[in-house]
Amino acid sequence: MPNLSTEAIFILVKSLESAEKRNFKLYVKRNSASADLKIIQLFDALDKMKVYDEEELLRKNESIQKQQLSNLKAHLYDQILSSLRIVKQNKNIDLQIHEQLDHAKILYNKGLYIQSLRVLEKIKTLTKQNNQVTYLLQVLFLEKKIESLHITRSMQDRAKQLSEEIDEVNHRLDVIAKCSNLSLQLYGWYIQHGHARNDDDRIELDKLMQDPIMELVKSSEGFYERLYRYQCYCWYGFINQDFLLHYRYSQKWVDLFEANENMKQIETAQYIKGLHNLITSHFDLRNFQKLKETISILDEYSNTPIVLNNKNNLIQSFIYLYIAKINQHFLEGSFSEGLTMIPAMEAKLKEIELYLDSHRVLVFYYKIACLYFGAGKPAKTIDYLNKIINWKVNLRDDIQCYARLLHLIAHYELGNKEVVNYLSKSVYRFMYKMKNLSTVEEILFNFLRKSIQSGGVENSLLNTKANIKKSFSVLLETLQPYTTNKLESRAFMYLDIISWLESKIQGKQVQAIIKEKFN
């Protein structure tokens, strides 16, 4: 699991690319006094460190005194950001608009009102073309200030026009803010709990979706209004395992960007996330051909300059691409082939650990564990599940629970009777506490307990192969009806219990069973 430094300046320095480092040094030497060159010494020292250690930093750089370190770090932080702004401003619409707004304010402060208004008119065109509603409001406020304080010869009907424009923008911003709030609430609910566990969860989610904003936003044609509306339905469908609804709105999400190509550059991370959700919906619906096609789109897009030249976009595309490829192996039953990705995947995870959130790391650990389990390697499965179980993080109750359940099954596969006997009780208590215990899990726990108490289904001398198959067959028949129950079927999403039971009955590996189904 990541061992992240909390020192902001250290993380910022480590995030810089070679060209950005060169530009920073040129910027400082060109714009700073000679006394400020001490920050370059601090910069070089931080750049050489693998882990931030303040004592080592001071020991190796005697000219930097402890009492001045705090101010130096703050100054270095500001200077790096200033140098980055110069490099990045032509690639980012926000920075371009900010720069033009600064120009308009400078002209206004010099008393050049007409010139300032001309710049503001250009900015308004730029904001409308790129759906930047928040900046449009700033432009209108400055324009109103100029018109109300100075005679600019443009006042004919201008007061009424400005008032109407501001009212319209304020209304749009209110709708966007409320809809994006709801989208964030739904996504936050998923990050905390995963899929809906029971009727109480569904009632809670339905209440969220009854927000009046969902009716109001229906008639909106703005880009962000539609984007956040699609996201709300997307999260709602996914959490409730309504995969058709999830697919429908994931597709609308992606189609919105296809119809507004310029927004791919402005909201690249949102477009990548839309593709990720579309891939997930194809996986859940077992649309294999569409899954492959959409993975190819994401793969191709991840090699475009807009992604390659932006670390955030690069990290997001890496995360979603690898998750998609793992899911493809799950669908095909090609678990052993999937294991070949793990060394490169782990190397990349180590490289970007400073930027990864805990949720993504949890997902990766769980999916890697499932790859090993499907490939018939329960010992390696346990290694990765231990990373989740021993990591005290208050996220994804569902993954926390099913990691423990898979951990129990992996020990069962290894014939560790005493461990299984202990774990069956502790895992049961944990899942009960997390309100994550469904009928399917109850049945599975009862089966494992009885199996252990009788010496183990497969280890007992009294059991013949026929009896072993019969025991698993009875369990399979018992669980089969629950696969179509949405509240019960969530267990089958996290663990392919059906394929595991079929593998025990047929004496094959899990991946062989899934591969046969796929073919």
Residue 3 has pLDDT above 50, yes or no: no
pLDDT of the residue at 154: 55
- Worst-scoring range by mean pLDDT, 205-214, 406-415, 431-440, 504-513? 431-440
**What is the average pLDDT across 39-47?**
90
**pLDDT band for position 106 (cuts 50, 70, 90):** very high
pLDDT of the residue at 34: 57
**What is the average pLDDT across 84-113?**
84
- The per-residue pLDDT for range 272-320, each reduced to its tens digit, is 999 999 999 999 999 999 999 999 999 999 999 999 988 889 999 999 9
CB 275 within 8 A of CB 317: no
Vertex 324: Cα angle to 232 and 266 (nearest 5): 55
Question: Residue 63: what are its φ and ψ, rounded to 5°?
Answer: -75, -15
- The per-residue pLDDT for range 165-177, each reduced to its tens digit, is 899 999 999 999 9
d(CA 209, CA 504): 43
* Cα within 13 Å of Cα(327), Cβ side: 26
Cα 202 from chain centre? 23
To the nearest whole percent, how much of the chain has pLDDT over 90? 44
Q: What is the pTM of this model?
A: 0.83
The mean pLDDT of the chain is 87
The encoded tokens of residue 366 equal: 């769980």
d(CA 291, CA 327): 10
Residue 21 has pLDDT above 70, yes or no: yes
**pLDDT band for position 204 (cuts 50, 70, 90):** very high
- The per-residue pLDDT for range 316-368, each reduced to its tens digit, is 999 999 999 999 999 999 999 999 999 999 999 888 887 888 888 888 999 99
Burial-class residue 336 by CB neighbours within 10 Å (0-12, 13-18, 19+).
Answer: middle
pLDDT of the residue at 455: 52
Going from N- to C-terminal start, the domains of the chain cover 8-90, 92-156
Vertex 202: Cα angle to 197 and 203 (nearest 5): 135
